[in-house]
Structure 1
Amino acid sequence: MTQILKLSRPLAFLLILATATMTWGCETTSRTGRGAGIGAAAGGVIGGVIGSRSGSWVQGALIGAAVGGAAGALIGNYMDKQAAEIDRDVQGAKVERVGESIRVVFDSGILFSTGSSTITSSSRYNIEKLARILNRYGDTNMVIEGHTDSLGSEAQNQLLSERRAESVANLLKTYGVASSRLSPVGYGETRPVASNETEAGRRLNRRVEVLIYANDELKEQAQSGELRM
């Protein structure tokens, strides 16, 4: 079973991300490389604070941990191509480029029946198409976020969000995406992007987000000036 990451204390995640980025940066041979790594780590923490205001701690961390420079431009081009394919082939998904990452948002009402964490048969094909694209761009990892509105109890919403994130991750694995690339997270009702006072707002809050970001291998390729496609 895919391990669920419970980010009730998002700062812990950001500190882990910062430490990993600093370690990667310090392994580079130049002083400029080391400085860039430390700067990206600090940016990740700052980005997480920004993200907390827009609905996603991880999204903010990805913005803050951008590589930048020529390497960042190479990664950006890699992500542009991937985002374009997702936007073209995956129906019902909102695709957004965020820094050097990609944010893919699914309305939970499209993926699941009310109160269910079982992906509907009509949506399985879309997840399969997403998996095919992710498999073509193997140097990326994904955080899969489950979110709910505030109807019902907080505990129920938390559990439902976890199960929905895990369902998407498991289906992606079924279609060949390596489990090591996938980190499902349940946020429950804690990260709304709209008011829960209206049905329109609640619908926006009921969502699954797939955040796609460069792994260390892709960063190393970009630093060397050449990406393998």
Structure 2
Amino acid sequence: MRKYIATLLAVLLTSVPMFAQTVDEHAKTKKGAVIGGIAGAIAGAVIDNNRGHRSAKRGAVVGGVAGAAAGAIVGAMMDRQERELRQIQGVNVTRTAPGELNVSVQNEVLFDFNSSALRSSSRASLQQMADVFQKYPDTTLSVQGHTDSIGSAAYNQRLSERRADSVAGYLQDLGVRSSRIQTIGYGKSQPRATNSTAAGRQLNRRVEIHVRANA
């Protein structure tokens, strides 16, 4: 059975680079289908292992088909969500995995300097984000606050937490379920750029929302 699974994995994994190189708008849906197929094939083979070699093969095939279908559905959902989030002004979206997105919002869009109170001008963007998140409810959201290196570590930690809480609270006020949201502040510990320049510090002052498809 191990040999069979190893052979199946080799075939499926050989397909991943082909899908990854696809440049059309469905590339990540295809990649999600491949990954889902791999997971499903392994699960199916393991579950049916005790029934004998033929059952293991059958379980791998059935599991692979089911996993591929589930992966394709998740990938398509995340493709659509990514496209819609990219339309929002002041928002940067990165696809970090077939079932994960990272949405980054610069603090200058959300907050005044040294403040965790949301600017009135930021509310339209957050409303659009909330609309997208409610449209695709089968995801969890991790709202993460970040700062530059100016000020003490303790102060920046508290500020990053308050800013994450402000964004999460407003999304909840707009109708996003609180059970989908968690918040965390990283202070100045995870810079995206150098803190030695004004431009770098601006990039580091941000709130990120990690969007993950539910399993």
The TM-score with structure 2 as length reference comes to 0.68
Q: How far apart, in 2, do the equivalents of 1:151 and 1:34 lie?
A: 54
Higher alpha-carbon Rg: 2
| Superposition deviation, residue 72 in structure 1 | 2.6
The unaligned stretches of length 5 or more in structure 2 are: 1-38, 47-66
Q: Conserved in 1, the CA contact under 8 Å of 2:40 and 2:68?
A: no
Q: How far apart, in 2, do the equivalents of 1:29 and 1:214 lie?
A: 17
SS in 2 for 1:210: strand
Q: Does 1:80 align with 2:79?
A: yes
- RMSD value, Cα: 2.0
Who is 2:43 aligned against?
Answer: 32
SS in 2 for 1:177: coil
| Superposition deviation, residue 168 in structure 1 | 0.3
- How many residues get paired? 156
The unaligned stretches of length 5 or more in structure 1 are: 1-27, 36-67, 220-229
For residues 17-96 of structure 1, the aligned pairs below 5 Å read: 32=43, 69-88=68-87, 90-96=88-94
1:164-220: CA deviation from partner (whole Å, max 9, x where unpaired): 0000000000000000100111000000111111111111110000110012xxx3x
Q: How far apart, in 2, do the equivalents of 1:33 and 1:159 lie?
A: 47
Q: How far apart, in 2, do the equivalents of 1:81 and 1:34 lie?
A: 32
Q: Conserved in 1, the CA contact under 8 Å of 2:147 and 2:205?
A: yes
Q: Does 1:191 align with 2:202?
A: no
SS in 1 for 2:151: coil
In structure 2, what residue type is equivalent to 1:155? Answer: A
- Could you tell me the percent identity over the aligned residues? 46
Higher relative contact order (CA 8 A, sep 6+): 1
Change in Cα spacing, 1:167 to 1:30, as seen in structure 2 (3 Å) is same
Runs in 1 of length 4+ with deviation above 2 angstroms?
28-31, 68-74
Change in Cα spacing, 1:208 to 1:29, as seen in structure 2 (3 Å) is closer
Q: How far apart, in 2, do the equivalents of 1:148 and 1:172 lie?
A: 21
Who is 1:42 aligned against?
Answer: none
Q: How far apart, in 1, do the equivalents of 2:141 and 2:112 lie?
A: 24
Q: Conserved in 2, the CA contact under 8 Å of 1:80 and 1:97?
A: no
